[in-house]
Structure 1
Amino acid sequence: MQNRIDNLQGTIVTGESGKRYRLSQKIDSGSQGVVYEEDSGNFVVKLYHEEFASNHVIEQLRFVKQVKLPPNFVPVEDLLCEPHVGFVMKRVVGHEPLDVYLLPDPKQPFYKWYNKEKGFLCRLFLGRMIATAFEKLESENLSYCDISGKNILVRTKNKASVQMIDVDNIYVAGRGNPGVLGTPRYIAPEVVRGLNTPDIFSDNYSLAVILYELLRVGHPYISDEIANGSPEDEAKALAGECDYISPENSTHLLPEDVVFTTRLKNLFSRCFKDGKFNRLKRPSAKEFEFALIEASNNIIKCPHCGAWHYPRKTGKKWNPCPWCDGESSPKARIQFYDFFFEGTDYQKAYCDFEKKSQPKATKKTATNSYVIKDDFKNRVPRFYVVGEKSYTMGASVAENCFSIYSKNGTCTLVNDGLDMPIKIKHYGSTNFTIVDKDTHCDLKNGDTLFFEIGDDSPATIVEASNQQFGLIKMAMFMEV
């Protein structure tokens, strides 16, 4: 009976709101139903095949319509019940399916397709936006159920945007049954086996798969052998019946070291090894959000081919660009540290530290790093200074802390994100320059930045064994 809704161009359908919608061009069809454009160009209408048009689906649509969804999820605008069951949503303009970044274009060489526009930088940025959207959904105890490259629409030109469609599958764990289990390539193993219905943990699995594909262009369970095998072999792999691929048996994918940081590598390993059947070990969307921001802050643009890549070293020598083998190395970077010292005066403690006359308890521990991009506004995220643990669920981790403008070999720090001043100790000097909010200062090699974020004092002070100790976040600017 599926053909009842396959040829309804020109038909007028009426929503529960009383609004009338004239169906025009059919733009998609699948196992659930058919999607039409609407005559005004402002809406899209999805109609369900008869076997899916149950009272449960209508109840689910009413539930989704009243749920307050995060901004990146296109909401249900109106419901259709007679003579066809379906819903109306706003048409997303100027976007394209994420599939254009997941499925190589056979008409282009792979390296050109992967590195189109801003290439790897764009992929990391889109991945972060997708992770952010799902973290916000997770904070509302909602799951999407049907993550796929077709249901995620992206825009990279002008103002970047990510929009999720087909929200009729939004689900609250324990509330009825979801209308769909998901797209086979992205369904979590326990859902495939019928052990669990989709929920936040299965969404975490699906999110990890799509991020993995966005970066490596391949599935985490499809090895070289399976890629050249039968459809049955692939189905078993997608169901989680095969081991997580290794660098040795995944040569048809981009190498891990080209597209993953150590942190990303560990998160994917946790998900696809430890988390395959132990759902609680899967990384959250927020963990991927932090990792993708960190990764995007540690890549550079090759001056020869224009591809974005991680600068890697073998010994003291920078490795060539992985795409063209041309020489490519960073010009400057900022290394962040936790500086732990005795007493309460971090300025004196650090000057003593540089003179190597500090007490034994004084030390600095490296945390995050940021590679400065040439001719670029480098926006340093706030969590580099305040720490990841300070971010609660639903809070934005992309919030700016300060910026560094790199132009013609000069790097200028602008305090455009912090409410407190940044203090800079210039290399070779014992003086500290204060950079107040919305002011700037040129940086030189070896300059040290201090961020006074203590509650009652410039540094966080604690007492132990009748002694006072301080902790302050600092960073060092280094020309490479």
Structure 2
Amino acid sequence: MTTNKDKNNKAARHGNRVVHDRQGTAYELTGKLAEGGQGVVCQTQFKNVLVKIGRHPANDPRTKAWFDHMQWVSRLPLEELRIARPQTLIVRPRLGYVMELMDGLVPLTSLLEESIAAMRDGRGLQGFIDSGGLAKRLRLLQGLCSTLAKLHGRGLAYGDLSPGNIFVSRSREHAEVWLIDCDNISLLSREGGQKIHTPGYGAPEIMRGESGINSLTDSWSVGVIAFELLALLHPLKGDFVNDGESDGETAALMGGVPWVDDLDDDSNRSSTGLSRDLVLTKELQELFQRCFGTGRIDAGARPTLAEWRAGFEAAAAMLMTCGDGDGCGSSFYYNRARKCPFCDRIQDESAHLLMSHYVYAPLSELEKAEFGDQSPWIATNQRMVFGRETVELRGSPVGSVMYAESVPVCSLTLDGAGLHLEPAPGRRVALQSQRTRETHVLDRKKRLNAAIRRGDYYMLHLSDSEGMHDAWRFKW
């Protein structure tokens, strides 16, 4: 059996590749994982234990300021956040800190590199599909935005956000997200403060030295990462930047050049990257326009992290899966033809169910007298489609900023036997046939049999009351 003492002795034999913490534990730096503005993150001889070492010598004033800040970060309330916080401090020969990371994670950079390498090698979108396709990417982005939104809710900003310090599940099926490099976390501020950033991911105002890190600079970084991950293209590096003068990229990153999909200026369009209609919903395209269009000049116009999260949740809710057999297994946005854009396979209509969200808002007698006898049904823009996986309907619809925090009301499962509806414990819902007008109040699991699926409209009320409530319409 190998003990930590044995590992310390073995590590110590490697000379300058070894660093020590305050307790005297030796860490052998076995490989570089990521590099940022403040230092280098390395693997060690201990499984799932990482060390970040400062870029400058221990007696450098910049290192002392960073080390002091790092000790402040170690005392922050980061509980229940998926952030690898400092476990102990490295004190020699250079300063740094130790952090732990769960098994099976890789830098987000690897997903980008796998997709781009496949296109470069003539394999088209196979790398995009093999690395999880749209489904995994949207789930990762939801998780990232959820963590950052909670961090902002605690009055803190992350700062140096880039694909190199975001670690994600290696497997295609899972979508865990963890942040490392937490030493740049700061109090939310608009002026002064830290201006650390990774080239290509810092907000223009940071690049220009006009602002410290804050929630709006985090929003910009999330936008860049999300656009790269989905469209395989940096939002500011179009043909004008890539093919132009050497200082064009610097000007673009400082906000002086339109982004690749600018609505009013096409001077920096890109001939590379994936079709936006293939990887972005209209809502996501609008969020990116806010971030890189008006938000390039006016930081206040950028989406909040809650809005980013809601946009990715809404997009994920509209995904279909290309079926087994002769299908490619990829995920794609719902279309009326049910045709997979990656392999052109038409999906079986019975394998998916499309639902549209409504609000039931009956008028009072006084309102009827003033406005007339209007329909109580208000159609919203929220929709969702699901296949064989179980989905939850919550108190707020998917795509709203309150969805993630709202409580489950009813779960739905689609299989060969039919549609299974199961109210959450203590909840009651009502299923109404729009053809017969019959309404059944449900307080336990019910199945709509596959044999009666003939295209009739149903309304699933997420309440059994006559007052205002949410409802979902579908065909069965």
Q: Is 1:283 the equivalent of 2:303?
A: yes
CA drift of 1:283 comes to 0.4
The residue aligned with 1:233 is 248
Name which of 131, 134, 148 aligns with 1:120: 134
Q: Is 1:65 the equivalent of 2:74?
A: yes
In structure 2, the CA distance between the partners of 1:229 and 1:361, relative to structure 1 (3 Å rule), is same
The residue aligned with 1:32 is 38
In structure 2, the CA distance between the partners of 1:36 and 1:256, relative to structure 1 (3 Å rule), is closer
Give the alignment of 1:46-125 within 5 angstroms: 46-48=52-54, 49-50=56-57, 51=60, 53-69=62-78, 70-103=80-113, 104-107=115-118, 109-116=123-130, 118-125=132-139
Q: Retained in 1: the 8 A contact 2:432–2:459? A: yes
In structure 2, the CA distance between the partners of 1:329 and 1:230, relative to structure 1 (3 Å rule), is farther
Q: Deviations over 1:425-477 (max 9, x none)?
A: 134334321221x5233275312111228xxxx244xxxxxxxxxx3322212
Q: Which amino acid aligns with 1:372?
A: V
The residue aligned with 2:343 is 324
Q: Is 1:410 the equivalent of 2:418?
A: yes
Q: Secondary structure at the match of 2:291?
A: helix
The residue aligned with 2:322 is 302
Name which of 153, 162, 177 aligns with 1:139: 153
C-alpha distance in 1, partners of 2:331/2:102?
29
Give the alignment of 1:288-367 within 5 angstroms: 288-303=308-323, 304-313=327-336, 318=337, 320-328=339-347, 331-343=352-364, 360-367=373-380
Q: Which moved more, 1:189-198 or 1:66-75?
A: 66-75
Q: Which amino acid aligns with 2:90?
A: L
Q: Which moved more, 1:264-273 or 1:116-125?
A: 116-125
RMSD: 3.0
CA drift of 1:234 comes to 2.5
Q: Retained in 1: the 8 A contact 2:418–2:447? A: no
Q: Secondary structure at the match of 2:103?
A: coil
Q: Which amino acid aligns with 2:362?
A: F
Give the alignment of 1:361-400 within 5 angstroms: 361-384=374-397, 388=400, 391=402, 396-397=404-405, 400=408
C-alpha distance in 2, partners of 1:319/1:427?
25
C-alpha distance in 2, partners of 1:371/1:432?
23
Identity of aligned residues (%): 23
CA drift of 1:175 comes to 11
C-alpha distance in 2, partners of 1:325/1:170?
46
Q: Is 1:420 the equivalent of 2:427?
A: yes
The residue aligned with 1:41 is 47
C-alpha distance in 1, partners of 2:373/2:333?
36
Name which of 143, 155, 180 aligns with 1:129: 143
C-alpha distance in 1, partners of 2:270/2:406?
32
Q: Secondary structure at the match of 2:157?
A: coil
Q: Which amino acid aligns with 2:299?
A: R
The residue aligned with 1:148 is 162
How many matched pairs? 434
Q: Which amino acid aligns with 2:112?
A: L
In structure 2, the CA distance between the partners of 1:68 and 1:231, relative to structure 1 (3 Å rule), is farther
Q: Secondary structure at the match of 1:80?
A: strand
The residue aligned with 1:466 is none
Q: Retained in 1: the 8 A contact 2:420–2:445? A: no
Q: Secondary structure at the match of 1:384?
A: coil
Q: Which amino acid aligns with 1:131?
A: C
In structure 2, the CA distance between the partners of 1:176 and 1:208, relative to structure 1 (3 Å rule), is closer
CA drift of 1:342 comes to 3.4
Q: Which ranges in structure 1 are unaligned for 5 or more consecutive residues?
A: 1-6, 350-358, 461-470
Name which of 426, 432, 439 aligns with 1:432: 439
In structure 2, the CA distance between the partners of 1:434 and 1:105, relative to structure 1 (3 Å rule), is same
In structure 2, the CA distance between the partners of 1:221 and 1:37, relative to structure 1 (3 Å rule), is closer
C-alpha distance in 1, partners of 2:213/2:92?
29
C-alpha distance in 2, partners of 1:398/1:47?
41
The residue aligned with 1:465 is none
Q: Retained in 2: the 8 A contact 1:73–1:164? A: yes
Q: Give the TM-score normalised by the residue count of structure 2.
A: 0.82
C-alpha distance in 2, partners of 1:217/1:206?
15
Q: Which amino acid aligns with 1:145?
A: G
Q: Retained in 1: the 8 A contact 2:136–2:174? A: no
C-alpha distance in 2, partners of 1:206/1:101?
17
Q: Secondary structure at the match of 1:372?
A: strand
The residue aligned with 1:352 is none
Q: Which ranges in structure 2 are unaligned for 5 or more consecutive residues?
A: 1-13
CA drift of 1:77 comes to 0.8
The residue aligned with 1:355 is none
C-alpha distance in 1, partners of 2:322/2:19?
54
The residue aligned with 1:260 is 280
Q: Secondary structure at the match of 1:424?
A: strand
C-alpha distance in 1, partners of 2:132/2:51?
34
In structure 2, the CA distance between the partners of 1:409 and 1:374, relative to structure 1 (3 Å rule), is farther
Q: Is 1:210 the equivalent of 2:225?
A: yes
Give the alignment of 1:180-195 within 5 angstroms: 181-195=196-210
In structure 2, the CA distance between the partners of 1:411 and 1:369, relative to structure 1 (3 Å rule), is farther
CA drift of 1:188 comes to 0.4
Q: Give the TM-score normalised by the residue count of structure 1.
A: 0.81
Name which of 446, 451, 454 aligns with 2:462: 451
Q: Which amino acid aligns with 2:335?
A: R
